[in-house]
Amino acid sequence: MLTETEGRRTKQFETGESGVLTCLVFNSGDDVDGTCEVQPSGRIEHGGITAELVGVLEQYHDRGNVREFTKATQVLAGPGKLLDVTKYHFSFAAANLPHETFYGVNVRVRYFVRVVVAGKAGAGSVSEKAVEFAVEQQGVRPTADTKIKMEVGIEDFLHIEFEYDREHYALHDVLTGRVFFRLVQLRLKHMELAIIRREKTRTRGFAYAESDTLCKYEVMDGVPARGTVVPLRSSSRRTT
């Protein structure tokens, strides 16, 4: 339904409902176009055919409250009759796509193009079909990006220092850093690195907070000696 131009990427999302969703990826300001095919089962009279580009925010704790934050409509055909299979082309030039697609624990931001065949006045829609697509924003890296440093441990038994090379990472960056073992008086079996997404939402006066472990890596197996430095390198690609 959507035009797959050369170089257009696809992206998969775990929806939590129907498994994995694969979408074409667009940026804000891109042209979103494609074709649709209307196949009437017989002769039908309709009140017009439209294509709608819609962006919605949905919260699982408030399913009845779906907020449209962007919408554009294009008329494909005026009121009339459909006798045979008919193809239509739609195009939304420089589409307003202000937010990134997001499938979280409590909230999701999604985009779709919906084609609606309206019934005659007061009859509602005869048929409609939608196809989803994804949006990624190309942000600008901060000019000053300081290192992340953190110390953890147990007094007189364990002292560990973590260091990451940057504070800000893009979705497809590789995270690099190192961990320093300053004091080791405990028998350690292994060490894991986890990337955790924290999601905070508020609806109707209630606040919700969820944590989701996106990926986990084992970075050490065995007992480190004092002064050991373990390099860290992990992908952040599953962070949407």
Q: How do residues 179-207 score in pLDDT, each as one tens digit?
A: 999 998 888 888 888 888 899 888 778 88
Q: Are residues 164 and 193 in the same domain?
A: yes
Which of 35, 53, 58 shows the shortest CA–CA distance to 97?
53
Whole-prediction pTM: 0.80
Is there a domain that residue 229 lies in?
yes
Statement: residue 77 has pLDDT above 90 = yes
Q: Bigger pLDDT: 68 or 15?
A: 68
Is there a domain that residue 101 lies in?
yes
- Of the pLDDT bands very low, low, confident and very high (cuts 50, 70, 90), residue 27 is very high
Statement: residue 240 has pLDDT above 60 = no
Tell me which residue range forms the domain holding 161: 148-235
Q: Are residues 89 and 16 in the same domain?
A: yes
Is there a domain that residue 5 lies in?
no
Q: Bigger pLDDT: 7 or 36?
A: 36
Number of domains in the chain: 2
At residue 122, φ and ψ (nearest 5 deg) are: 80, 0
Q: CATH number of the domain that 189 lies in?
A: 2.60.40.640
Q: Taking residues 136-155, what's their average pLDDT?
A: 84
Look up residue 107 and give its amino acid. V
Q: Are residues 224 and 179 in the same domain?
A: yes
Boundary-marking domain end, from 81, 105, 135 = 135
CB burial of residue 49 (10 Å; 0-12, 13-18, 19+): buried
Q: Are residues 83 and 178 in the same domain?
A: no
